[in-house]
Amino acid sequence: DAGVIQSPRHEVTEMGQEVTLRCKPISGHDYLFWYRQTMMRGLELLIYFNNNVPIDDSGMPEDRFSAKMPNASFSTLKIQPSEPRDSAVYFCASSLGIGAYEQYFGPGTRLTVT
């Protein structure tokens, strides 16, 4: 398997623009996670899905952020409108289960909002 795939790897956009980050989890993994990593706050869980259904979105910063998982092989994280403070590396991860299961992380998307 190719592992978790994320696109784009780098995104530079202007404040106010819509940004869409994409993730393809490992086939057969029932759980998908979106994280944000910054120097200020470290690695933060934003939201996770089980079988395409959002389970816990308590980490989503505000209404500007939304995530969807239309099918088992694709998820998006959208920021609209984007702000400079959204600049971070966004990771997607997937796992076979929740709890005592390893999460497999993608390479991340580095987002810069100017």
Partner 1 sequence: GESVGLHLPTLSVQEGDNSIINCAYSNSASDYFIWYKQESGKGPQFIIDIRSNMDKRQGQRVTVLLNKTVKHLSLQIAATQPGDSAVYFCAENTGNQFYFGTGTSLTVIP
Q: How far is the CB of 43 from partner 1 (least distance, A)?
A: 4
Q: Which stretch binds partner 1 (CB under 8 A): 12-20, 42-50, 63-71, 76-84?
A: 42-50
Give the whole-angstrom CA distance, residue 114 versus residue 106: 24
- Span of 13-21, 60-68, 71-79, 101-109 interacting with partner 1 by CB under 8 A: 101-109
Token pair in block for residue 47? 């939201």
Task: Provide, rounded to whole angstroms, the least separation between the CB of residue 96 and partner 1.
Answer: 12
CB of 33 to partner 1, least distance (A): 9
**Identity of the residue numbered 56:** D
Binding of partner 1 at residue 108 (CB under 8 A)? yes
Q: Considering only residues 1, 28, 40, 71, which one is a binding residue for partner 1 as defined by CB under 8 A?
A: 40
Q: Kindly state the DSSP code that residue 85 receives in the 8-state scheme.
A: G
The H helix count followed by the E strand count for the chain is 0, 11
Burial class for 25, CB neighbours closer than 10 Å (0-12, 13-18, 19+)? buried
